[in-house]
């Protein structure tokens, strides 16, 4: 919860990936809040009030995942909404004549996005959704210490650069909205 709050205000892309990890962590503990508390939350260096608050946050995510029927796979609606919001922002940037650098970064990533989309066949809803799915997939491979082909690494670099650029522009835009 604390990490999520920090990431949400600093880097929207890292926040989304983190939230996907939380969904998978909950699945790994079979939606058992007591196991999550015992084996995960108890390791946090925070006071008891924060631990209670964190446990409730995880419980809320568990409830959302259950209600939204994403216990086995998929993402909760609030995470999907962020992807959709980022995709709309992405489309705005592509239409903006002042965003030539962003367009060039996208054009470099586009063939890799198309390749991933073709391989996924999982109902990805947008280029940005595909990008996050690819980034998260490679993260999981790295966590599992599986070999990642050079071609995959090269593709992920273009996708990662696009998402980093998009995230930075999105966060700057959000800051301007709050001024």
Is 125 or 38 the better-scoring residue by pLDDT? 38
- Give the residue carrying structure tokens 């993260």: 139
pLDDT bin (cut points 50, 70, 90) of residue 11 is confident
Integer Cα distance of 110 and 9 in angstroms? 28
- For the chain, give the mean pLDDT: 91
Nearest to 165 by CA among 113, 104, 76, 75: 104
pLDDT of residue 93: 97
pLDDT of residue 54: 93
Integer Cα distance of 140 and 137 in angstroms? 5
Mean pLDDT of 1-6: 67
Instruction: DSSP letter for 46, please.
Output: S
pLDDT bin (cut points 50, 70, 90) of residue 160 is very high
Instruction: DSSP letter for 72, please.
Output: S
pLDDT at 33 over 90: yes
Share of the chain above pLDDT 70, in %: 92
In the chain, domain spans: 2-67, 77-177
pLDDT at 123 over 80: no
Instruction: DSSP letter for 31, please.
Output: T
Dihedral sign, Cα of residue 89, residue 92, residue 96, residue 99 = positive
Nearest to 23 by CA among 71, 69, 77, 67: 71
């Amino acid at each position: 919860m604390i990490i999520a709050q920090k990431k949400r205000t600093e880097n929207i892309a890292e926040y989304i990936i983190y939230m996907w990890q939380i969904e998978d962590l909950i699945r790994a503990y079979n939606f058992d809040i007591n196991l999550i508390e015992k084996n995960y939350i108890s390791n946090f260096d925070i006071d008891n009030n924060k631990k209670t608050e964190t446990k409730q946050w995880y419980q809320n995510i568990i409830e959302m995942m259950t209600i939204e029927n994403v216990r086995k796979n998929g993402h909760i609606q609030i995470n999907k909404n962020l992807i959709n919001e980022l995709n709309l922002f992405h489309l705005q940037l592509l239409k903006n004549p002042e965003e030539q650098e962003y367009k060039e970064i996208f054009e470099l990533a586009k063939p890799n996005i198309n390749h991933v989309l073709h391989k996924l066949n999982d109902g990805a809803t947008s280029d940005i959704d595909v990008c996050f799915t690819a980034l998260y997939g490679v993260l999981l491979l790295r966590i599992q210490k599986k070999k990642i082909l050079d071609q995959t690494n090269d593709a992920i670099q273009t996708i990662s650069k696009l998402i980093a650029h998009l995230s930075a522009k999105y966060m700057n835009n959000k800051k301007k909205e709050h001024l």
